[in-house]
Amino acid sequence: MVVVQVLADDAKAALRAMIGRGENLLPVMSAFQSPMRASVEKTFQEGGRPEKWAPLAIGTMSSFAVSRKSFTTKAGFLSPTGRESLAGRRRLIKSGLLLRTIYFVPGPMSFEAVAPQPYAGVQQFGARIPPIYPKSKKALFWPGLAYPVKHTRGATVPPAPFLVFQQEDVALLVEMIAGFVATGNIR
């Protein structure tokens, strides 16, 4: 005869410990900040993941070139320096401010990525900028504009989702949670 005795008290204690760890995942969420930062940086470097972001519009690039005298010739054409600079321009990477200011807020059961810059939402989700008409004058003028205009045409900013939980990020987080709940250790 074979007798198997299960120590129910030990098993219950182990299960209670696992449940307790599963109710407060703050250590895992805190440890997940580093891999998530690396993932966001990779998204910026690759110009979007898994799908590439739309390239900079010609108007955006030309206004950037015109704003710097060294990028244009006296005749108004691009100088070699301007061509070189525009060839290397990538979307969302001008000063690096947006990427540098992204931070993460881990919680016991959540993980938030925050981009505090005012333009972050427009870049993440895209936007339609309506035409601008003068209210009290006959034309619009602001510094940098070649001449007064009756109105602007408006613009569309295509989305460039930079705060994206990639499939590998989700898989890593699930693996980290499972390991923490089972053993109490963070991978």
User: What pLDDT, on a 0 to 100 scale, did the predictor assign at position 146?
Assistant: 67
pLDDT 10s digits, 16-26: 888 888 888 89
pTM value?
0.73
Q: What radius of gyration do the chain's Cα atoms show?
A: 26
- Tell me the three-class secondary structure of the chain, residue by residue: CCCCCCCHHHHHHHHHHHHHHHHCCHHHHHHCHHHHHHHHHHHHHHCCCCCCCCCCCHHHHHHHHHCCHHHECCCCCECHHHHHHHHCCECCECCCHHHHHCEEEECCCCEEEECCCCCHHHHHHCEEECCCCCCCCCCECCCCCCCCECCCCCEEECCCCCCCCCHHHHHHHHHHHHHHHHHCCCC
Instruction: Judge whether 52 and 58 are in contact, CB under 8 Å.
Output: no
Closest CA to 64 of 23, 29, 94, 44: 94
Beta bridge partner(s), residue 156: 128
pLDDT band at 35 (very low <50, low <70, confident <90, very high): very high
pLDDT 10s digits, 152-163: 788 888 999 999
